[in-house]
Amino acid sequence: MKTYDLIIIGGGRAANLANKVAKLGKKVALIEKSSLGGTCANRGCVPSKLLISYADVIRNIEESSRHYIKSNIEKIDKEKIFKENNDFIKKVDEKYMSKLNENVDLYRGLGFFLSNKIIEVNNQKLTASKIIIATGTSPKEVPYKNAWTSDDIFPLKKIPKSIFIVGSGFIACELANALDALGIKIKLLVRNDKLLSNEDEDISKVFKEEFSKKIDIAFNTSIKDAKYENESFNIVLENKNKEISNHTCEALLYAIGRESNAKDLELENTSIQIDDRGFIKRDKFFETNAEDVYVVGDAAGEYMLQHTAAYEMNYLYKLLYEEEKKALKFKYIPHAVFTDPEIASVGMTEREAKEKGINYVVSKTDWLASAKAQGTKLEYPFTKLIINRDNYEIIACHMIGPQSSTMIHQVLTVMHIDNDVRHLKEMLYIHPAISESLLPASINAIKKIESFNEKN
């Protein structure tokens, strides 16, 4: 049996953690069953956003008539675009390998527990004083043979002419938008009448209106049957009125959520427990029910974002190898949806604020105070601030409009420092940058609080 200072199961974001610990002179075993870099770099955030960047250019050209510019896209070279994406994915593992510290032993295979302290991989037994589980998630199983998940897009073997996409969350919407813009015929199938239902209601309402103008969406519709014959699917759809319709498409993609990879870890050999969704339980110091065995990132099933996974892993390093004694408590967790329209958000939805009984004011302000925003000739973009009436704290910020994912960082900075919306009113903005639209948004919120305080 080989003995290490640390064993990490899962070489996604945790490959960086392995290097960091190895730099301390510790011997680390990193176990990865597939490509280093994990979901984000190989089949998630990065390749999807590279495709989305093409989609953004295409949408700008398609919509140039708003700016009195007549344009025509002669050709979208999908072969080149997907080849570039596939080539990028091919190189991810190599890039991670080249950065692997000499104190890291990489085991290419499925790791699983024989006991709280012993891991098996490729018929070898390993043990360590500390073990970290960073095994992430996988797409939920598809109900029909030959149907795809997002893993089948990254890398894409053959470009289909048409794809039916099932789902209404961020992965379904991002892929629908990107693939549609690239010229693939898309139909998005949504079980109910909502898109991005986890977003604040005002945001998802506007998103639905705008997104439906671009994408062919069948709401309240589900698949009754799907058969793959002669390289295409025959699909039977049923809507809420029980009406049946028949369709064909070359590919059927399910983006209906992700599930824990814990099932492969043989946790029954340990005292590690899972919750009712199958995710590994942990305490506030990331420790599982087995002593010195930790779980971080998507494997814990809490936030399912790359930036939170990375943050947690850096924090676990501080807890284990530096003097950090406090548990990590995220002050705020932002996210973005890279669709057209783009969305960015931090904090609770208004419904959640209401349910929690918080005293809040809402400032919903369009971006048109900024000339640069006016120049986009889009009327829908707005920012919704939800502010605590008792102390000016930013409870939430929801944005919809171009570059929201960049703009929201200004709000995040304020939240990070001392979280008082008044900073957004007092700071100096570059005129007339789109960010300037946060000035009236914050002024509106502050006015509402002051007028409430005057009356009460």
Ligand X SMILES: Cc1cc2nc3c(=O)[nH]c(=O)nc-3n(C[C@H](O)[C@H](O)[C@H](O)COP(=O)(O)OP(=O)(O)OC[C@H]3O[C@@H](n4cnc5c(N)ncnc54)[C@H](O)[C@@H]3O)c2cc1C
Q: How many residues bind ligand X (CB under 6 A)?
A: 36
**307 binding ligand X? (CB under 6 A):** yes
Backbone phi, then psi, for 222, in 5-degree steps? -135, 165
**Pick 310 or 353: Cβ nearer ligand X:** 310
Among 6, 22, 31, 344, binds ligand X (CB under 6 A): 31
Candidates 35-43, 63-71, 194-202, 280-288 — which segment interacts with ligand X by CB under 6 A?
Answer: 35-43
Among 22, 110, 386, 400, binds ligand X (CB under 6 A): 110
CA 382 – CA 210 distance, rounded (Å): 13
Among 50, 76, 106, 304, binds ligand X (CB under 6 A): 304
> Which one-letter DSSP state was computed for residue 141?
P
CB of 178 to ligand X, least distance (A): 10
- Cα-only R_g, the chain: 24
Which residues are registered as beta bridge partners of 189?
Answer: 166, 218
**Pick 171 or 226: Cβ nearer ligand X:** 171
Asked, as a colleague might, if the bond just before 341 is cis with ω within 30 of 0, I would say yes
| Contact pattern from residue 240 through residue 279 relative to ligand X, giving x for each residue in contact according to CB under 6 A and a dash for the rest | ---------------------x--xx--------------
Q: Which of 344, 341, 343 is nearest to 333 (CA)?
A: 344
Candidates 223-231, 297-305, 343-351, 354-362 — which segment interacts with ligand X by CB under 6 A?
Answer: 297-305
* CA 262 vs CA 41, 72, 408, 416: distances in Å: 21, 50, 34, 33
CB of 124 to ligand X, least distance (A): 13
Asked, as a colleague might, if the bond just before 47 is cis with ω within 30 of 0, I would say no
* CA 149 vs CA 127, 254, 299, 436: distances in Å: 35, 5, 19, 40
**Pick 139 or 440: Cβ nearer ligand X:** 139
Among 85, 135, 177, 349, binds ligand X (CB under 6 A): 135
CA 274 – CA 26 distance, rounded (Å): 29
Tokens 């640069």 locate to: 372
Q: Which residues bind ligand X (CB under 6 A)?
A: 9-14, 31-34, 38-40, 44-45, 48, 110-112, 134-137, 150, 171, 261, 264-265, 297-299, 304-307, 309
